[in-house]
Amino acid sequence: MRSPPRWPRPAPARLVAVALLVAALAGGFAAAAVPGDGYGHARRMYMRNKVLEMFYHAYENYMTYAFPHDELKPLTKSFTDSLSELGNLNLERLPQDYNGSALTLVESLSSLVVLGNLTEFERGVLWLSENLTFDVDARINLFEGNIRLLGGLISGHLLAKDYNNDLKVGQYKDQLLHLAENLGRRFLPAFETPTGLPYAWINLKYGVMENETTETSTSGCGSLILEMGALSRLTGDSRYEAAALRALRKLWSMRSSLNLVGTTLDVLTGKWIEYSSGIGAGVDSFYEYLIKAYVLFGSDEYWDMFHPAYLAVQKYFRHGPWYHEADMRTGEATHWQLTSLQAFWPGLQTLLGDVAAANLSHREFYNVWQRFGVLPERYLLDFGMLHPTEKYYPLRPEFAESTFYLYQATKDPWYLEVGEAIIGSLNYYTKVEGGFASVRDVSTMKLEDHQHSFFLSETCKYLFLLYDDSFLRNQNYIFTTEGHPLPIRSSWHEKIPATHVPSNLTSVKDDSQPIRVSALTSQVCPETVSRQSVGSPWESACHIPDVFPTHRCRTDDDCGVESASCKRRTCSMAGYCGLWLAAY
């Protein structure tokens, strides 16, 4: 890649203040702005502009000091090429004029559109079209390359097509899609294993290297379907989706009898290496992509995997508002710890309509945020202390993401105030002259010289959407795990589930028949149903009401499932349903 001339400062974002609609799940919750939510228009616009300032402070410093390299080092106002960090890049074998993959620019494309800055978006598209190449001797992590580069290019392509009439410099001609297809082809050799599970590392020029490690994570081979599936739908080449789906099916076949998966595995033997698992690092996006693939592609196969997996998580990992780790074989707790990556879970639960459970966990994450000023990478719940080595905060977006989803579902202005706290902390602790720096130690707030690209692709994006969701006015999107929006299109769906058609929702409101299944089983969004029917029995995704409203029972079959804990209720000797057996 050749170095371009320095770009001028980005043009101010063009913004439109309007009422909006977002439906993250078909038939899901509305996202129209609520002027009377008690927060106030002026205050909302003030916070929106604060996020704009944050984004452009980070973006402009990247463009000034790091572009076209991958990421910014804000303390020294220099750059780092993340490909070398992610994949032990052999710098000696690179072309001398190689300047990185412009990772932060790729990751910023969708954020520029969300913020309304199509001028800067178009300039980014043109530069990438003329300069970006993947024909380099670089060993990169397949998962990171998929969610960051491939996802950023695919999302950018779809947005360029949608906003083509608003672009000024000629017509968009699928340049980003061509780059995405080129990158996707380079990923395919990673899937050539006896199990179909992909290698964790791939050399962009030479494929899988000799003596490559065969160990990968559950997320690494189970979180590829959104980007690879979208690439197949856009190009007509089924190989990408087929490879990702084969890996996902194999991974699901390796689950335990409890419907739990482990954390790491061997791609050649298909055997688990690490049996302890949770909803945090190494596993998180596996659950996320199952439900989002179901929404994006409409195949019941994804639901049939997600449904039992979600219930297993609620049964074996949950302890009150927290989620510990457990052995996938026995369900026995292994590690009692909070990790910052777990903060995505309330957002996922909100997509399901399990808002009560989502809110409970979200408030606990907020309490930890308030205690430290940011969210530490790992907090030991059993000792009530920080992890001795993982005390950092790399500007992660998950807590802001869940805050955005919960506000969209509830319109409770309390979540806007949580957003204020996040924005205040980021500006107070991490903003420096050269951008935004990661926190090395949350106990001292000592900074680290790294501004991750996801700060622009996710953290700033979700905070902006919290106060101004104009971007979501005319189109429903699913956001990838890296925050890249993919439009929900009926043409991509195998079918639209009948239970999501509003006219069929009367079936869950029929008082003449007892409801003996959960919202998950019936595939309905309880938050939506409760708005349409006061007194709806659907309280959470796993809730199953008792047969009799008096909670009297003759056998365990007369008892349901708790809405908050997702634990099975049993019939006591006195004839009442309740959580009588601690063994659950």
Q: What is the mean pLDDT of residues 117-129?
A: 96
- Which carries the bigger pLDDT value, residue 410 or residue 577? 410
Question: What does each C-alpha distance from 188 to 208, 444, 561 come to in angstroms?
Answer: 10, 44, 44
Does position 497 have pLDDT exceeding 60, yes or no?
no
pLDDT of residue 24: 37
Segments in 40-79 forming alpha helices (H): 41-65
Q: Please give the Cα distance from 445 to 430 (Å, whole number).
A: 9
Q: Are 139 and 203 in contact (CB under 8 A)?
A: yes
Judged by DSSP in three states, 582 sits in coil
List binding-site positions for Ca(2+).
481
**Which is catalytic among the residues 107, 398, 449, 558?**
398
Q: How confident is the model at residue 572 (pLDDT cuts 50, 70, 90)?
A: confident
Does position 530 have pLDDT exceeding 60, yes or no?
no
Is there a catalytic annotation at residue 377? yes
Q: Residue holding tokens 């080129």?
A: 182
Q: Please give the Cα distance from 501 to 529 (Å, whole number).
A: 12
Does position 217 have pLDDT exceeding 80, yes or no?
yes
Give the H/E segment covering residue 315: helix 300-316
The pTM for the full model equals: 0.84
DSSP 316-385: HTEETTEE-EEETTT--EEE-EEEGGGGGHHHHHHHHT-HHHHHHHHHHHHHHHHHHSS--SEEETTTTE
Q: What is the mean pLDDT of residues 558-562?
A: 84
Q: What is the mean pLDDT of residues 387-412?
A: 96
Pair type for strands 477-479 and 485-487: antiparallel
pLDDT of residue 325: 96
| Helix axis angle, 41-65 to 414-425, nearest 10° | 30
Q: What is the per-residue pLDDT across 463-474, written as a single tens digit (0 to 9) for each? A: 999 999 999 988
- Which carries the bigger pLDDT value, residue 12 or residue 16? 12
Q: Residue holding tokens 């007509």?
A: 236
pLDDT of residue 503: 32
DSSP 410-437: H--THHHHHHHHHHHHIIIIIEETTEEP
Does position 574 have pLDDT exceeding 70, yes or no?
yes
Q: How confident is the model at residue 75 (pLDDT cuts 50, 70, 90)?
A: very high
Q: What is the mean pLDDT of residues 328-350?
A: 96
Nearest to 355, CA basis, from 292, 418, 309, 408: 408
Does position 487 have pLDDT exceeding 60, yes or no?
yes
Q: What is the mean pLDDT of residues 275-285?
A: 96
Q: How confident is the model at residue 536 (pLDDT cuts 50, 70, 90)?
A: low
Q: Please give the Cα distance from 505 to 499 (Å, whole number).
A: 7
- In percent, the amount of the chain with pLDDT more than 70 equals 81
Q: Which of 114-123, 174-183, 452-461, 498-507 has the lowest mean pLDDT?
A: 498-507
* Summary mean pLDDT of the chain: 85
For residue 68, say if its preceding peptide bond is cis, omega within 30 degrees of 0: yes
Q: Please give the Cα distance from 222 to 245 (Å, whole number).
A: 9
Q: What is the mean pLDDT of residues 295-305?
A: 96
Does position 91 have pLDDT exceeding 80, yes or no?
no
**Which is catalytic among the residues 70, 227, 284, 558?**
284
Q: What is the mean pLDDT of residues 134-141?
A: 93
Sorted by sequence, the CB contacts under 8 Å of residue 46 that are 6+ apart come out as none
Question: What does each C-alpha distance from 134 to 149, 248, 452 come to in angstroms?
Answer: 10, 26, 21
Q: How confident is the model at residue 11 (pLDDT cuts 50, 70, 90)?
A: very low
Q: How confident is the model at residue 384 (pLDDT cuts 50, 70, 90)?
A: confident
Phi/psi region, residue 566 (left: phi>0; alpha: psi -120 to 50; beta: rest), is: left
pLDDT of residue 524: 65
Give the H/E segment covering residue 211: none
pLDDT of residue 89: 36
Does position 493 have pLDDT exceeding 80, yes or no?
yes
Q: Are 376 and 387 in contact (CB under 8 A)?
A: yes
pLDDT of residue 517: 65
Q: Are 416 and 44 in contact (CB under 8 A)?
A: yes
Is there a catalytic annotation at residue 192? no
List binding-site positions.
481
Does position 504 have pLDDT exceeding 90, yes or no?
no
**First and final C-alpha spacing in the chain:** 58
- Which carries the bigger pLDDT value, residue 69 or residue 86? 69
Q: Which of 347-361, 380-394, 546-560 has the lowest mean pLDDT?
A: 546-560
Pair of tokens at residue 58: 């980070």
- In percent, the amount of the chain with pLDDT more than 90 equals 70
- Which carries the bigger pLDDT value, residue 386 or residue 23? 386
Q: Please give the Cα distance from 185 to 205 (Å, whole number).
A: 11
Q: Please give the Cα distance from 556 to 569 (Å, whole number).
A: 7
**Which is catalytic among the residues 71, 144, 241, 546?**
144
Phi/psi region, residue 100 (left: phi>0; alpha: psi -120 to 50; beta: rest), is: left
Q: Residue holding tokens 């029917």?
A: 533
Q: Which of 226-235, 345-354, 526-535 has the lowest mean pLDDT?
A: 526-535
Pair type for strands 438-441 and 446-448: antiparallel
278 φ, ψ to 5°? Answer: -160, -145
Q: What is the per-residue pLDDT across 416-456, written as a single tens digit (0 to 9) for each? A: 999 999 999 999 999 999 999 999 999 999 999 999 999 99
Does position 526 have pLDDT exceeding 70, yes or no?
no
Q: How confident is the model at residue 569 (pLDDT cuts 50, 70, 90)?
A: confident
**Which is catalytic among the residues 241, 377, 448, 449?**
377
Label residue 145 exposed, middle or buried (CB < 10 Å: 0-12, 13-18, 19+). Answer: buried
551 φ, ψ to 5°? Answer: 70, 15
